[in-house]
Structures are given as C-alpha cells and as structure tokens.
Amino acid sequence: MKKIFGPEFWLFTLIYIVLFGWAAESFGVITDSAPIKYSTIFLMCAFTGLVINLASLFARRVGTYWLSFPAALVIVEWTRTSILYEYSFGFLGAVWIYLPLVFMQTASLVGAYGLSFLTVFLPLAIATKHFKTAAAVVLCVLGFGAWRLSLPERLLDYNIRIVSIDKGKDGTEEKIRAYGIRSMFPGWEEVDLFVWPETLLDSSLSNPGREISIVNNARSSLVFGYVNERDGKKYNSFAVFRGHDLDIAYDKLLLAIYGEYLPWWLPNSVLEDRGRHYITPGERPRSAVELSGKRAFPFICFESIFPGLRVLDDIDFMLNISSDYWQSPRGKRLHYGLVRLAAISEGVPVVRSADHGTSAIISPFGREIVRLDGEGILDGRLPARVSRTLFSRTGNWLVLLSCLGILIIAAAGSRRGRKP
C-alpha cells in the first residue's frame, strides 16, 4: 500500500494537475462551488496518478524499466481513455503540441499514444545513461519531420468562409442574423462552404436557420451547430443547409463531461434541475457528408481530439465545429493543438470553426493556412489531403502491440535472469 500511494503516485498526480487542472473551470457550467470544482479535478488527477503508478510498479517488477514503463503507461492510457473517454485530454502525448511542427510530424507514424511512449521513454533513456539510443531517436524524429515538411503542399479550388461568432450563453437571434449579413462580404458568391460553430442555433428560436440561410448562394453549402429537440430529447447536432433545405447530418456521439452530461459519481446536490443527461448521445454512426462536391467527416467539439479517429479513406477533409466558451486559455490552446495533431496523424486537412476559440484551416502537415482567434470571418482555400499515413492505416494497434511485445520480451528476459 505504501508503494501504491508513495512518492511516484504523488508525482504523477501533480503532473496531471499541472497539465490538465484547467478542466476544473468546466464545473462552472453546473456549480460555482470552489470546493466541488477543485476537489473533483483533484480526484480525477489522483485516479490518473494511481493507475500510472500501478503501471510503474508493474514495470519495475518486469524489469528493463526504461523500456517497460513507457510501454505499460501507453497500454494504461489507451485503456483509461477508451473506457472513460471523458478523460481523453489526459494523455501525455498531448505535450508535443507545444513543440515545433517538425517534432509533431512523428504523429503521422505512431499517433498520440506513440508520442506518449516517447515522452516518457526519452528522459528515462537519458536518466539510465542510454545516451546513444536517446540521441538516435531524437535524430530520427527530427529527420523524419524535416523530410515530411519538405513535401509539396497544394491548395484546391474550393473556397471556404469560416464564421466565428462568440455566442456562448448569451447569443441572440439579432447577433446571429447580423453575422449572417456580415458573411456577405465581397466574394461571398464564390464561396463553396460556409462554416459556423457548434450549438449556434436551437429549437427555441422562432425560425431555426432563417438567420443564417440568407448567406447561401446557389453553389454553396452551409454547416452549423444546432441543438435539436426530437421526441422530448435534445441532441447536439451537425446541420447542413443546401440552398434552403435543412438536413440534420449527424448527432454528437461522444458527449462532453459536465458540459453535456454529468458523471454518475457527482453529488446530486449540484445537479439542480438539469438531470444527468441534458444532451442525448446520437444513435447513428458518424459518416461522410457531401458538401458542394467535397466529402467531409464531421466532428463536434472535442470528438476531434481522440487518438485514432479512423476517418474514411474517401473523404477530402475533417470538419470540426466547436464551442470553447467554457474553457480557460490553456484549455483552448490544448484543444486546438490536438486538432492540429489529428490532421497530422491522419494526413487529412481540418476545417474548424470555434465559438470563443481558434478557428482555422489546417493542412495535413499541421500548418495553418488561415487562422482566427475569437470572433470574426475568415476566408481560405482547402488544402489537398496527402497519401495515407502509416498511422491512418494501422490506427493505435501498431503502437499497442509493440508496447505489449516490449513487456513480454522484458518479462521473459527478467525471468531468465532470475534463474539460478
């Protein structure tokens, strides 16, 4: 028990509090109680520290700690974020978004969990004096990144206008309609796709869609977030206008903890009259959406940050609509950085419109074709996708099976070493 809750447990807990403690602010959606906010985020980070410490203890038992611990950590991270998907922000590979773009290209080979492995492996290799191995890995990362960034990049004749309106909780029909009119800047007739953010409209408005359908021209599609009420349930939906025809193309599958539903372990005292599920998860699987001759794969809010999105082979881009008003500046930066990482991992461009966040068109190499922080209107052309990356072909399985192989080999070597 002392080992389980020993110094390493507290170290891992502290690391996660530093990296992801900003998530406590999301509790402001449901409660203003500071004790509830910060005690809950501490428990979440302590749980993460506990399972990682268990992985560390297992790796020490297996042997070859500098290899076996990163491998065990990746398996634990994948299991934790797959089962408790609301904690998907909390994988260590996320720290790579703060590094230069040349380092991030490695995600196209190994994905985010592979980056988690390297995040722990490199300092452990140095600490255990495996300097040549660490140097070789760093040189390979830099060499591959430089090569990938040297590949040609092409922009398609497909014009996109992103509208970012800081609607948040206080959006009104008048403000939305005003931005609809502002969308009709010079050149709007040549726009193929208008993109508005998540939860822009809801069924409480007198005429959902009227406020923004005015910007549609004969050739364009317009996408936006719509809180759609059906059969007494509310869905966070991805809606499309083609001409003046409204289509609910997709209902959000992976809901945001605290923002759209409350976990089972949260005390009833903070629920008030909202209930635990005030947004219902979608029932249809995500599929490609036809938008003015191009095929887009939709993601609402933080759905886009999951490692191993498994996007379809025949899509032209990923489309992310988001509402970031509830996040701190660190949270917004992390969310946006993980979207860029997804573009690199999958080798597919991303178009993003974010309420109170960063809107952008991102190339398959993670470059920002255009970018806007906050409210405004942004024009740009769609980058072409590149040939499928290794990660897009193998998903997380290559890294997971490699980590499992490391543990098996380390365990076998340790057993042979203990024989008399």
Which tens digits make up the pLDDT trace of 25-55? 655 555 566 666 677 777 778 888 888 888 8
- What local confidence, expressed as pLDDT, does residue 28 receive? 56
Per-residue pLDDT of 104-146, as tens digits, reads: 999 999 999 999 999 999 999 999 999 999 999 999 999 999 9
pLDDT of residue 190: 83
Locate 105 and state its tokens: 């290209």
Domain ranges of the chain: 7-150+395-418, 155-385
Q: What pLDDT score does 182 carry? A: 59
At residue 187, the pLDDT reads 66
Give the pLDDT of residue 87.
56
Q: Could you tell me what percentage of the chain is helix, strand and coil, using 3-state DSSP and rounding each to the nearest 5?
A: 50, 20, 30
Go through the chain and tell me how many residues it has. Answer: 420
Q: What are phi and psi of 85, to 5 degrees?
A: -65, -20
pLDDT tens for 263-296 read 666 655 555 545 445 788 888 777 889 998 999 9
Q: What's the confidence (pLDDT) of residue 276?
A: 47
Confirm if 153 and 367 have CB atoms less than 8 A apart. Answer: yes
Which tens digit of pLDDT belongs to each residue from 162-171? 988 776 445 5
Query: pTM for this one?
Result: 0.87
Mean residue pLDDT of the chain comes to: 81
Alpha-carbon distance values, 102 to 105, 150, 230, 290, 395 (Å): 6, 10, 46, 33, 21
CA separation for the pair 361, 302 (Å, rounded): 17
Q: Say whether 21 sits in a helix, a strand or coil.
A: helix
- Pairwise pLDDT comparison (81 vs 321), residue with the higher score: 321
pLDDT of residue 12: 81
Query: pLDDT for 352-411, tens place per residue?
Result: 999 888 999 999 999 999 999 988 889 999 999 998 899 999 989 999 999 999 999 888
Q: Is pLDDT above 90 for 204?
A: no
For 260, the token pair is 């759209």
Topology of the domain covering 155-385? Nitrilase/N-carbamoyl-D-aminoacid amidohydrolase (3.60.110)
Instruction: Give the C-alpha separation, 279 to 198, whole Å.
Output: 14
pLDDT, greater one: 338 or 204: 338
Judged against a pLDDT cut of 80, whether residue 209 lies above it is answered with no
Cα 265 off chain centre by? 24
Report the C-alpha gap between 227 and 239 in whole angstroms: 9
Give me the pLDDT at residue 8, please: 77
% of the chain exceeding 70 in pLDDT: 76
Question: Could you tell me the two tokens for 298?
Answer: 């939709």
Q: What is the DSSP string of 157-184?
A: EEEEEEEE---GGG--HHHHHHHHHHT-
Helix 107-127 vs helix 65-83: crossing angle, to nearest 10: 140
Strand 350-355 with 317-323, pairing? parallel
Predicted pLDDT at 260: 74
Amino acid sitting at position 203: S
Residues 6+ apart with CB under 8 A from 364: 343, 344, 346, 347, 348, 349, 383, 385, 386
In this predicted structure, the answer to whether residue 198 has a pLDDT above a threshold of 60 is yes
Reduce the DSSP state of residue 201 to 3 states and report it.
strand
